């Protein structure tokens, strides 16, 4: 098959591409690198001209006054140019409803052309979108990425990126994509739950992890237990990093001779990976029911990850609590207690580490996941 993957936020599409290629398919990935993360793509839409000093100044001024980013025109130009050679793909998959990360009024005409000159369009629910954010605004779950905003409406500005999906322009984009796609696929439990009763929902396919590239490294605890907390300041509030910060302060004071804490900010993907290589424990996020992509890659490497591991996830994979990952709740005391338990029982770290790798190989192997995508695409291509 000829497969076109549009967008990249986490490395999901890169790993899926690698799995599909192992199965003998031709794959092209279009992406913008996702800012500082710098994910690779076959067709690069990353912003360069608009980031030059003089233009960047005017870009910031215009955005402050109009809330519009003129860099969207640069991305649109690059994608329009790329469209000339993006013809006759059997499957086109969007990573998200905002796969090009540009305003809907500019994005929609480009997607119309993309749809006309290719065969079947599929959509991933991976990251924020209209259905997910609308569901979370109704507060149907115990907590969500919107919990900080729902508890404190003064944070609205910090949640602009999330809330944009329920504005008229993005709702219209959502409706357009749903109308012209064969259906939507969830990448984990956090997106599966809001979609359960949606007619367009095709089911969940777990995130693909390339376990051939990510090697398992058995934990060796020689002196201190190393705890890694990698922060993306753009999503710090919605991931609940403040809970981890508070917990780490307590742990540092109580176990100064037993732990070494490493906190970083906005590292490019390659640097991020290198820093956490030395860690035994990785702190990921608290406002989720399932693992994000960074957590899964850390688990594949054998790290003990504090992340979403709620009952819905346990039930789906038929697991017992705290056997492959630690369920991190938006509760400092709970995080501290779980960290203390591991610090005082290092053998537990080694046990969870091995379980984590086995879980990733069983449920998230990139070739196995790619096979699931192929099956689903073929099954629903005539929808």
Domain borders along the chain are 2-208+365-380, 225-363
Q: How confident is the model at residue 27 (pLDDT cuts 50, 70, 90)?
A: very high
CATH of 2-208+365-380, one of 1.10.10.10, 2.40.50.180, 3.40.50.2000, 1.10.1510.10: 3.40.50.2000
Q: How confident is the model at residue 377 (pLDDT cuts 50, 70, 90)?
A: very high
What share of the chain in percent tops pLDDT 70? 97
Q: Does 2-208+365-380 match 225-363 in CATH topology?
A: yes
Mean of the pLDDT values across residues 313-321?
Answer: 95
Taking CA atoms, 282 is separated from 6, 43, 219, 306, in Å, by: 29, 32, 13, 6
Q: Is the pLDDT of residue 178 over 90?
A: yes
**What does the pLDDT look like over 275-290, one tens digit per residue?**
788 899 999 999 999 9
* pTM confidence score: 0.92
CATH architecture type of domain 225-363: 3-Layer(aba) Sandwich (3.40)
Taking CA atoms, 106 is separated from 4, 78, 112, 211, 333, in Å, by: 20, 12, 11, 38, 47
Mean of the pLDDT values across residues 175-197?
Answer: 97
**What does the pLDDT look like over 30-75, one tens digit per residue?**
988 655 556 789 999 987 777 777 677 778 877 777 888 778 888 9
Q: How confident is the model at residue 320 (pLDDT cuts 50, 70, 90)?
A: very high
Question: For strand 120-125 and strand 184-186, is the pairing parallel, antiparallel, or unpaired?
Answer: parallel
**What does the pLDDT look like over 124-150, one tens digit per residue?**
999 899 999 999 999 999 999 999 999
Mean of the pLDDT values across residues 209-216?
Answer: 94
The arrangement of strands across the sheet holding 91-94 comes to: 43-44, 26-31, 2-6, 91-94, 120-125, 184-186, 201-204
């Amino acid at each position: 098959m000829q497969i076109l993957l549009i967008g990249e936020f986490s490395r999901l599409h890169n790993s899926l591409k690698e799995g599909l290629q192992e199965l003998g398919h031709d794959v092209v990935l279009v992406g913008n690198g996702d800012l500082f993360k710098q994910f690779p793509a076959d067709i690069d839409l990353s912003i360069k001209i608009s980031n030059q000093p003089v233009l960047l100044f005017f870009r910031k001024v215009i955005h402050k006054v109009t809330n519009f980013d003129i860099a969207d025109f640069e991305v649109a130009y690059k994608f329009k140019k790329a469209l000339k050679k993006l013809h006759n793909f059997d499957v086109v998959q969007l990573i998200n409803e905002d796969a090009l990360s540009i305003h809907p009024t500019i994005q929609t005409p480009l997607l119309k052309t993309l749809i006309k000159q290719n065969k079947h369009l599929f959509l991933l629910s991976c990251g924020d979108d209209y259905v997910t954010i609308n569901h979370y605004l109704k507060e149907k779950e115990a907590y969500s990425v919107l919990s900080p905003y729902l508890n404190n409406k003064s944070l609205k500005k910090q949640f602009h990126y999330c809330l944009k999906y329920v504005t008229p322009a993005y709702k219209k984009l959502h409706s357009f994509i749903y109308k012209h796609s064969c259906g939507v696929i969830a990448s984990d439990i956090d997106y599966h739950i809001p979609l359960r009763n949606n007619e367009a929902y095709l089911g969940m396919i777990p995130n693909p992890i390339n376990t051939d590239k990510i090697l398992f490294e058995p934990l060796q605890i020689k002196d201190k237990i190393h705890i890694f907390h990698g922060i993306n300041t753009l999503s710090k509030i919605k991931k609940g990093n403040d809970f981890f910060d508070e917990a780490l302060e307590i742990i540092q004071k109580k176990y100064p001779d037993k732990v070494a804490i490493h906190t970083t900010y906005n590292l490019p993907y390659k640097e991020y990976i290198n820093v956490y290589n030395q860690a035994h424990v990785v702190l990921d996020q608290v406002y989720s029911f399932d693992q994000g992509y960074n957590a899964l890659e850390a688990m594949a490497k054998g790290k003990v990850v504090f992340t979403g591991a709620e009952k819905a996830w346990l039930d789906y994979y038929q697991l017992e609590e705290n056997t492959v990952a630690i369920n991190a709740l938006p509760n400092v005391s709970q995080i501290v207690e779980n960290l203390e338990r591991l610090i005082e029982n290092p053998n537990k770290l080694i046990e969870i580490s091995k379980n984590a790798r086995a879980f990733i190989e069983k449920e998230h192997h990139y070739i196995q996941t790619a096979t699931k995508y192929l099956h689903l695409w073929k099954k629903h291509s005539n929808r």
